[in-house]
Amino acid sequence: MTETMHVPIERTEQLVAPPQPAAQESDDEPPDPSPCMAGAPALARTKPAGRVVPFPAHRAGTISPAVKSFRKRHFPSVPSKLWNEWQWQTSHRIRTLSQLESMISLSAEERGAFSQSQRSLPLGITPYYMGLISPDDPQQPLRRSVIPTVHETVHAAGEADDPLGEETQSPVAGLVHRYPDRVLLLVTDFCSTYCRYCTRSRVVGRGAIHPSRNRLEQAFAYIAQTPAIRDVLISGGDPLMIGEEKLSWILSRLRQIPHVEIVRIGTKAPAVLPQRITPRLVRMLRQFHPLWMSLHFTHPDECTPEAYRACAMLADAGIPLGSQTVLLKGINDSVETMRRLVHHLLKMRVRPYYLYQCDPISGSAHFRAPIAKGLEIIRGLRGFTSGYAVPTYVVDAPGGGGKIPLMPDCVVGRKNDALLLRNYENGVYRYPESCNVPPA
Ligand code: SF4
């Protein structure tokens, strides 16, 4: 394999290809005109493009100002080399009340979470992500998504520890087989940063799911014996918390199964631990194409220069990137916030893939926005921005029914032979659709 990635830690500008001389552009032209171009007017020779101006996002600083000043305040003696190591970030996670208290001023609701024995999901925040958190605003979206509050100890009606019924659809420990042609393989329960709304909070951070060979071999055997499985989603926890060697072994074991066509990895690393996306990781991952990645971005404030750089490295390695976002009350439940997020994602070459209605996990009532809000957001995006920017809004059906897409009502009715359709501006248009189409 030819190695082409040379990405320095702190200079994203170099990710942009240097301007090429005009003469070289003609080398990329096809040698002969295509037959379908015969008779077409000759293309005017384009003028040399001049210097390529990199997209502003690439020219932005490589370190978020907030993270920079946080580091100066709380880790002044840590050199850049260490700060940019994912292992250092992981081993210096903020995990205790006293660490939190030394960095932010806690509200009564936040402090109260630490006196409740029912709080099940541990605390874990990378120093990098902590740098993005407001020290004095408990309502700041990123803060709400990772700092526990007493509300998560309140169990509302309809909530469950395993609302999606994953345990009942698990033929082998850590493998969920819900849909006919794909499986979810949980490789670890560890995350560098724990989201307070995590669907798998019943297991993550509890040390129950290890990437042990023995367990994983049972999962591989199940997949190998089930030819219908053509797609494996590796998730957790965060699979990128596993070292390159083990991860490479998992990927190569899956690649040895002939009917596994694609492998996907679900991760929040680019948002909470962008330092994890290293040249070494990317070199390893690109050996296993077709490999896709489902990233997890929640709010536009996560789209920092560091996150841009991490996504650029993955995209440059040919890994198609999608983002899954959970709709969260008071965090991202507005058209304006979601629009800013999806526009950032497109610039990061990440396709907004799903917008999830928050699952009714135990203690999540304070995060759940009404479905009408999700529909309002989709209505506010569709037509008003690029189609690529509009995610599919889904409810993961409680009990294991799978994802059910929800769309604003666009079919208004029928008039004679026409279907009446509503457009994004609320105008109603007729689409001729005869029921008596003559045979061809
Ligand atoms: S990164 Fe994913 S698995 Fe980990 S806590 Fe967040 S939602 Fe859960």
Digit-coded pLDDT (tens) for 337-354: 999 999 999 999 999 999
Q: Is the pLDDT confidence value at 250 over 60?
A: yes
pLDDT of residue 32: 44
pLDDT of residue 202: 87
What pLDDT, in 10s, does the model give residues 422-431? 999 999 999 9
Dihedral sign for Cα 295, 383, 411, 426, please: positive
CB atoms within 10 A of CB 404: 11
Q: What is the DSSP letter of 140?
A: -
**Residue with more model confidence, 162 or 87:** 87
Among candidate residues 293, 396, 394, the one with its CA nearest the CA of residue 345: 293
Q: Is the pLDDT confidence value at 6 over 60?
A: no
pLDDT of residue 57: 52
| Cα 198 to averaged position of ligand 1 atoms, centre (Å) | 5
Backbone angles phi, psi at 388, to 5 degrees: -60, -25
| Cα 126 to averaged position of ligand 1 atoms, centre (Å) | 13
- Is there an atom of ligand 1 within 6 Å of 237 CB? yes
Nearest protein CA to atom 7 of ligand 1, as residue: 198
Evaluate whether 230 touches 183 at the Cβ level (below 8 Å).
no
- Is there an atom of ligand 1 within 6 Å of 238 CB? yes
- Is there an atom of ligand 1 within 6 Å of 162 CB? no
Cα three-residue angle 364-340-317, rounded to 5 degrees: 95
Please give the Cα distance from 345 to 332 (Å, whole number): 14
Q: Is the pLDDT confidence value at 119 over 70?
A: no
Structure tokens at 321: 């990137």
Nearest protein CA to atom 5 of ligand 1, as residue: 194
Average pLDDT of the chain? 87
- Pocket test of ligand 1: the residue of 93, 198, 273, 295 to mutate, having most ligand atoms within 8 Å of its CB, is 198
The confidence band for 121, taking pLDDT boundaries of 50, 70 and 90, is: confident
* pTM of the predicted model as reported, rounded to 2 decimal places: 0.86
pLDDT of residue 164: 87
Instruction: Please give the positions annotated as active site.
Output: 178-179, 182, 191, 195, 198, 200, 359, 396, 403
